[in-house]
Amino acid sequence: MTRKLEIPALDSNDGQTSGMMGSAPIPEGHVIRRFEPLAILAIASEAFPVVKTGGLADVIGSLPKALLSQGVATRTLIPAYPTVLANCRDREIVGRMTLLGEEVTLWASHCNGLELLLLDCPALFDRRGGPYLDDHGRNHHDNWRRFALLSAVGARIAAEGVDGWRPDIVHLHDWQAGLTAAYMKAAGVDIPTVITIHNLAFQGQFPAGVFPELGLPDYFRHVDCLEYYGDISFLKAGIRLSDAITTVSPTYAREILTEERGMGMAGVLQSRRSVLSGIVNGIDEAVWNPVTDPHIPQNYDLESIERRRANRKAVERSFGLTPGDGAILSVISRLTWQKGIDLLAPLVPGIIDRGARLIVIGEGDPGIVYDLAEQARQHSGRVVVHVGFSEEAAHMLHAGSDIVVQPSRFEPCGLTQLYALRYGAIPIVARTGGLAETVIDANEAAATAGVATGFQFQPGSIVDLYHAIDRALTAYDNPGIWRRLQTQAMRTDFGWTRSAERYARLYRQLARSHAGAAFSEG
C-alpha cells in the first residue's frame, strides 16, 4: 500500500450517480443457505467493545458476527484512538501512507471477534477526550479533517486492497464515513457502496471554506454533492453518491422523507428514495443475555424469572434507593431534548405519589441534568440521578429495573428497549421510529391477544407520557398481568438473524448488479 491514490478531476457527467437497486423493496424470503463468499469493508467511527459512545458502536460490533452465517466476511476500519490501541494490543502493520498531508499507519487486528483495520494518525486521533468531543465537552475543532482522513483511507483500501485483500462492497456508517463515496468516485473506484444512516440529526456539516483542504475536484462542491445550505455535508455526499441507502428501521426510513423528520435532508432523500430502505437493528445476544451476563449478580431466564428479584435488590443497594415494593423505573440515555428527557422532571412528583422510584443515568444537557438533580434532592432515596455511563450499570439496570423509559421525540431505531425486552424490564417508549416497531403497546386488543410487550405514547407529550407511566404502574400492581407482559417481552426475538439476512441480500443484489453492468460494458 505504498502507491499514491490518485484523485482525478471529473467533469459534470462523470460525477452523476444512479441507484443500482431499482424501485422494488428488498424481498423477504426463506433463509438462503449457500452463498458465494462476499468481502465487506465497513467504515465507522466506533465499534463495541473497543470504543463506544452510543448505539452505533453496538451495531458495528455485532453485525459482522451475524453476517458470517450468511457467508459475508467483514473487515471494519475505525480510527486508532488511544483506547482502541489499548484494547487491540495484538496487531500488525499492513500499510503506511500519506493522505491529506497526514502520515498514516494502518494496523490489522483480530480483536473481540472483529476483524479490524486501525487508522493510526496520532496528530489527529491521539488526544484527550472522546471520539468527537474534547475533555471540555466541545467538538474537536478539526473533526472535518479527522473524518475526511478516515474516508480517504477507506477509499484507498477500496482502490488498492490491503494485505492481499480487497472488498466486494464498501459499507459506510453515518456522516463520519460519508465522504468515502466521494473519494471513491473521484478516484474511479468501481465498487458498490452502501451508506447506513444511524441518526440523521448528525450530518457532518462544516464551513465551505474547508473544501479546498479535502483534496476533491471542484465538482464535488456542487449542490448535487457536498454543498448544503452554503456549507458542506459529509453525510449528504454519502447519500448522493452511494448505490444504496439504509436506515436502522423501516419506520425511520419513511419518517426521514418528511419535512418534519428530514432534518433539512428530506429533499435529498426524496431524490434517492428508490434506493432507500430500512433494516431494523438487532442486538448481540451473547453480550445481552440474562442467562450468562457477567455484569449482574443473579443470572436468570424466563423459567426462573423469580431470581430477578435479587438483581432488583442489588439495584436498590448500588444506586441508594430506599428499599420497597414499588416499581423501579430507569432511564438509560443521553440526557437531551431529542431523547425527550426534559419531559421527565415535571412528572417526578406523580411517579413518587404512585409509590414508584426513578433512576436516571447518562450525560447531556446541563439544564436537563439540573432539573432532574433537583428532583433527586427533593425526593432523596426515591429518585437517583447519576451523571455518566458504564456498561456494567446499564446491564444492572436492565436486569433489576421493572420499567425502562425511552421518551424520545425521534428515535431511528433504539437498542435500549431491545435490551429491556430481553431482560424482562417492560419498556415505555414514544411512538416513533424503531421504538414503534419493536414494542407492542399493551392496549386492550394486544393484551387480549397475548402479544403486548410494553407501553407507547405520543412523542413530545408530557400528558401522554404520564398516561403511559400510569398504565404501566397499574399493570405492575397486578402480578398476573405483569408476569404475562414479562413473558411476552422475553420471548421476543430481536437478534441479528433476520436483519443480517436482509443486509446479505442487499450486498448480493448490489454485487450482481455491478457484475452485470461490468459484463454489459465489456
What string of DSSP letters covers 503-514? Answer: HHHHHHHHHHHH
Confidence class for position 25, pLDDT limits 50, 70, 90: very low
Checking if the pLDDT of 34 tops 90, the result is no
In a domain, 296, yes or no: no
Strand partners, 108: 92, 117
Residues whose CB falls within 8 Å of the CB of residue 260, separated by 6 or more in sequence, listed in order: none
3 state SS for 75-132: EEEEECCHHHHHHCCCEEEEEEEEECCEEEEEEEEEECCEEEEEEECHHHHCCCCCCC
Q: How confident is the model at residue 522 (pLDDT cuts 50, 70, 90)?
A: low
- Report the percentage of the chain scoring pLDDT > 70: 92
Residue 199, in any domain of the structure: yes
351-371 pLDDT tens trace: 999 999 999 999 999 999 999
Residue type, 98: T
Confidence band of 174 (pLDDT split at 50, 70, 90): very high
426 and 340 housed in the same domain? yes
Q: Is residue 403 part of a domain?
A: yes
Residue 17 burial class via C-beta count within 10 angstroms: exposed 0-12, middle 13-18, buried 19 and up: middle
> Sheet holding 227-228: strands in order across?
205-206, 231-233, 227-228
pLDDT tens readout for residues 283-299: 999 999 999 999 999 99
In terms of domains, do 325 and 418 share one?
yes
Residue 310 lies in a domain: yes
118 lies in the same domain as 258: yes
Asked whether residue 3 is assigned to any structural domain, the reply reads: no
Q: In the structure, what pLDDT confidence band is assigned to residue 37 with cuts at 50, 70 and 90?
A: confident
- For residue 517, being part of any structural domain is answered with yes
Q: If you average pLDDT over residues 235-262, what whole number do you get?
A: 97
pLDDT at 518 over 80: no
Whether 380 and 257 map to the same domain: the answer is: no
Q: Are residues 504 and 440 in the same domain?
A: no
Tell whether 273 and 344 lie within a shared domain.
Answer: no
Same structural domain for residues 371 and 413? yes
**Section 491-502 average pLDDT:** 96
Per-residue pLDDT tens over the stretch 148-169: 999 999 999 999 999 999 999 9
Q: Are 339 and 420 within one domain? A: yes
Average confidence score pLDDT of the chain: 92
515 and 370 in a common domain:
no
270 and 411 in a common domain? no
Number of separate domains in the chain = 2
What integer pLDDT is reported at residue 515 of this predicted model?
81
Give the percent of the chain with pLDDT over 90: 90
66: nearest Cα among 439, 368, 504: 504
Residue 169 lies in a domain: yes
For 194, the domain range is: 38-282+497-521
Q: What sign has the CA pseudo-torsion 184, 15, 265, 498?
A: negative
Q: Please, which pLDDT band fits residue 521 given cuts at 50, 70 and 90?
A: low
Q: Other CB atoms closer than 10 Å to residue 353's CB: what's the count?
A: 8
- Helix pair 234-241, 180-187: axis angle to 10 deg: 50
pLDDT per residue as tens digits for the range 395-419: 999 999 999 999 999 999 999 999 9
Domain membership flag for residue 7 = no
Q: Are residues 239 and 384 in the same domain?
A: no
The CATH number of residue 445's host domain is 3.40.50.2000
- Hey, what long-range contacts does 459-467 have (CB within 8 A, 24 or more apart)? 459/340, 459/407, 459/408, 459/409, 459/410, 459/430, 459/431, 459/432, 460/340, 460/343, 460/409, 460/430, 462/343, 462/346, 462/347, 465/340, 465/343, 465/347, 465/407, 465/428, 465/430, 466/347, 466/350
**What pLDDT score does 2 carry?**
36
Q: Does 520 have pLDDT greater than 60?
A: no
Q: Which residues pair with 359 in a beta bridge?
A: 330, 384
| Bridge pairing between strands 231-233 and 205-206 | antiparallel
Given a cut of 60, whether residue 32 has pLDDT beyond it is no
Higher pLDDT, residue 272 or 34: 272
272 and 306: one domain?
no
